[in-house]
Amino acid sequence: MAPRSSSRPVGTVTRGTTNPNRLRRMDRWIATRHGGVLRRAGAGAVAVDLGYGAAPWTAVELLLRLRTVAPRVRVVGVEIDPERVAGARPYEREGLSFRHGGFEVPLGGGAQPLLIRAANVLRQYEEAEVAAVWERLCGRLAPGGLLVEGTCDEIGRRHVWVALGPEGPRTVTFAARLASLERPSDLAERLPKALIHRNVPGEPVHAFLRDFDRAWAAAAPYAAYGVRQRWVRAVADVAGVWPVEGRREEWGRGEVTVRWGALAPGAGAV
C-alpha cells in the first residue's frame, strides 16, 4: 500500500453497498466466540465496524447483537468517506458513534479496540496488499482482541471470514443459509481476498472445498431429515481429515470453522 500522509485516512473508498441484516451470521459467530472477552472488559470494551458503507445499518446491528452478550460494549463505526460519516451521525446513541478514518482506526485517546470487524472491505484490493492491511489492523488491537475480515453476498446468505488475533490469522469460517447451497463449494465465490484467487488445484482451500463437496455428496441420505442434518454429517466427515473447530450446534447453524494454517496459501494441499 502506498505511503500516505498521517493526517489522511489510510485506504480507499469502497462501493459502500450495504443492506440491513447482511452481517448477521458474522455477528452471531463473533458474539458466540468473543462475547466473553468483550463482557469481561466492561465499559472498556470497544468494537469497530470498519468500512460500514453508505448506510450505518451494520454498525447499529453490531451494537444490538454484541450487547446481548456484553451489555457495556461500545461500537465505533469508521468510514473513509466523510459524507458517509456525516450521514451516519443522526444514528448515534449511547454506545454508538461514528468516525472518519481508515485502516489506522482512529479512536482517539490511545484507545485500542477489542474487536475490529471489516466486512466486504478488502475485495477491491490486490491480494498482495492484504497481509499488510491485516498486520496494520492487528497492530491496533488491544491484548486479547480479534480482527474479523471477510466477504458475504448482498443479503448475507453466504459468508466466509478470517479471524485474526494480534499474532495473525487463526481460523477461516464458512457460513451459509443452507437452503441457498447446491454444494459447499458454492461458498467459493465469497472467499476473502487472501483466498479467493487460491481456489485452484494444488492449493489447500481448493482441496478443502473438494473434500467438503465429496462429504456432502456422501451425506445425501441425511437430506431426508433436513438440510441441516446433511450439513452436520458432511462437516463431521470433513473433520476427520481437516482441523475443524467448534461445536455441533455451530455446525447446525450452517457454519464450519477451520484452522488458518490448514488453508493458508502455499500450506500444501491434503
In a domain, 187, yes or no: no
Count Cβ neighbours within 10 Å for each residue of 171-182 and write b for 16 or more, e otherwise.
bbbbbbebeebe
Query: 7 falls in which pLDDT band (50, 70, 90)?
Result: low
Task: State the Cα–Cα distance between residues 194 and 255, nearest whole angstrom.
Answer: 20
Cβ atoms of 64 and 210 closer than 8 Å: no
In a domain, 142, yes or no: yes
14 domain residue, yes or no: no
Of 129, 139, 117, 153, give the one whose Cα is nearest residue 28. Answer: 117
Local confidence band at 139 (pLDDT 50, 70, 90 cut-offs) = very high
Cell numbers for 180, please give them.
441457498
C-alpha cell at 237: 466427515
Residue 8: band (very low, low, confident or very high) from pLDDT cuts 50, 70, 90? confident
Residue 208 lies in a domain: no
Runs of H (alpha helix) within the chain: 24-40, 57-66, 82-88, 127-140, 193-196, 204-218, 227-238, 248-252, 260-263
Q: What is the pLDDT of residues 17-43, one digit of tens each?
A: 788 899 999 999 999 999 999 999 999
Answer with the residue of higher pLDDT: 266 or 119. 119
Min mean pLDDT across 184-188, 231-235, 246-250, 265-269 is at: 265-269
In a domain, residue 73? The reply is yes
Report whether pLDDT(12) > 90. Answer: no
CATH code of 109's domain? 3.40.50.150
With respect to residue 171, please indicate whether it lies within any of the assigned structural domains.
yes
Q: Which domain holds residue 54?
A: 24-176+245-261
Q: What share of the chain is helix, strand, coil (3-state, %, to 5)?
A: 40, 20, 40
Indicate the pTM of the whole model.
0.94
Number of domains in the chain: 1
CA angle 174, 172, 169 (to 5 degrees): 160
DSSP classification of residue 120: S
Is residue 103 assigned to a domain? Answer: yes
14 pLDDT band, cuts 50/70/90, is confident
Task: Please check whether residue 215 lies inside any domain of the structure.
Answer: no
